[in-house]
């Protein structure tokens, strides 16, 4: 299901779980399995590694944190039929939770992972104890979404070196400093038989045009139905979630708490992991207490 070689510096997954349709999902965990379960879902084009710092922090705080690569990403399998819909992602989430005996988790979802979490809870596919949405609301700014898609769709023939990969990331995130060592980029790419580096996701993941209007209506209905403690975290400089989009969500879900992380863009956890981790732990401590 995946046509790629893992680079030597890519961390080996701690776990492999069975998703829907035979797709295997690679994941990591932190903390004691006896603690309250917190499942973290990354955004499109990211991997479970986006949650590494948050996972460690949650584990230290007494929670059992879990993150996995979505289908078509990282070390997880690609979908044979190219199904990367929210429904398929939500079904994968249920499969992972089933591996833990159907425990009631708190969900933390960024971007696409947040939409998956909101859909799963709002349509009663998953019974969760709390929800943290990271820079995702029902209405996303089309220009910001298109910028992500353009980044993900660039260089379909691959890159000749990790330096070229770093250059591409730098153009997309100009506010972030270039890493001194490029070894960490190994988890962001795969190495093809032709010796070219390509992004770690299945190209079919971005092949379909998103139905933003239909998704908006569906996620609005999900937001109205939320009863769980909910926190919306927005990146202060995000071009995907605007203040207007955040206000709409807060009107749909009046009991939700709201945090705006200054100097963070759409990748909130990656841009300001310290501030995000603090906000997440404080919220969970109030609503899903670890013993």
pLDDT digits (tens, 9 = 90+) for 211-263: 778 899 999 999 999 999 999 999 877 889 999 999 999 999 999 999 887 77
In a domain, 152, yes or no: no
Q: Are residues 231 and 257 in contact, defined by beta-carbon separation less than 8 angstroms? A: yes
Q: Is 210 helix (H, G, I), strand (E, B) or coil?
A: coil
What does 22-49 look like in DSSP terms, one character per residue? G-EEEEEEES-TTSPEEEEEPPTT--GG
Instruction: Give SS3 for 287.
Output: helix
Q: Is 34 domain-assigned?
A: yes
Strand partners, 137: none
The CATH number given to whatever domain includes residue 131 is: 3.40.50.1820
What lies within 8 Å, CB to CB, of 287 at 6+ separation is 106, 129, 130, 229
Does residue 161 fall inside a structural domain? no
Q: Is residue 237 part of a domain?
A: yes
Q: Domain for residue 185, yes or no? A: no
Report yes or no on 269 lying in a domain: yes
CA separation for the pair 179, 23 (Å, rounded): 33
> Does residue 183 form part of some domain?
no
Question: pTM value?
Answer: 0.93
- Count structural domains, the chain: 1
Locate 57 and state its tokens.
Answer: 């922090």
Phi-psi bin for 22: left (phi > 0), alpha (psi -120 to 50), beta? left
Q: Which domain holds residue 265?
A: 15-144+204-287
- End-to-end CA distance of the chain, in Å? 41
Residue 42 in any domain: the answer is yes
Q: What is the pLDDT of residues 34-90, one digit of tens each?
A: 999 999 999 999 999 999 999 999 999 999 999 999 999 999 999 999 999 999 999
- Contact, 65 vs 41, CB < 8 A? no
């Amino acid at each position: 299901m995946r046509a790629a070689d893992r680079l030597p510096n890519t961390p080996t997954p701690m776990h492999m779980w069975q998703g829907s349709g035979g797709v295997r999902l690679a994941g990591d965990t932190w903390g004691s399995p006896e603690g309250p379960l917190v499942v973290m879902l990354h955004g499109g084009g990211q991997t479970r590694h986006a949650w590494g710092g948050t996972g460690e922090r949650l584990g230290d705080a007494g929670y059992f944190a879990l993150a996995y690569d979505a289908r078509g990403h990282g070390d997880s399998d690609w979908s044979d039929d190219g199904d990367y819909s929210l429904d398929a992602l939500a079904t994968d989430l249920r499969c992972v939770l089933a591996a833990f005996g159907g425990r009631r988790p708190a969900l933390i979802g960024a971007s696409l992972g947040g939409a998956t979490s909101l859909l799963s809870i709002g349509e009663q596919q998953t019974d969760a104890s709390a929800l943290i949405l990271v820079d995702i609301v029902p209405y996303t700014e089309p220009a910001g979404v298109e910028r992500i898609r353009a980044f993900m769709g660039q260089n379909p023939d691959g890159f000749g070196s990790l330096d070229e990969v770093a250059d591409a990331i730098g153009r997309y995130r100009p506010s972030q400093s270039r890493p001194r060592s490029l070894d960490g980029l190994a988890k962001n790419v795969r190495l093809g038989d032709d010796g070219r580096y390509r992004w770690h996701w299945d190209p079919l993941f971005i092949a379909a045009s998103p139905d933003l209007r239909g998704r908006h209506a569906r996620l609005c209905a999900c937001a109205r139905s939320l009863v769980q403690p909910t926190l919306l975290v927005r990146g202060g400089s995000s071009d995907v979630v605007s203040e207007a989009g955040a206000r709409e969500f807060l009107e749909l879900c009046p009991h939700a708490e709201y945090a705006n992380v200054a100097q963070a863009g759409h990748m909130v956890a990656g841009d300001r992991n310290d501030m995000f981790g603090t906000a997440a732990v404080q919220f969970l401590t109030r609503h899903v207490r670890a013993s």
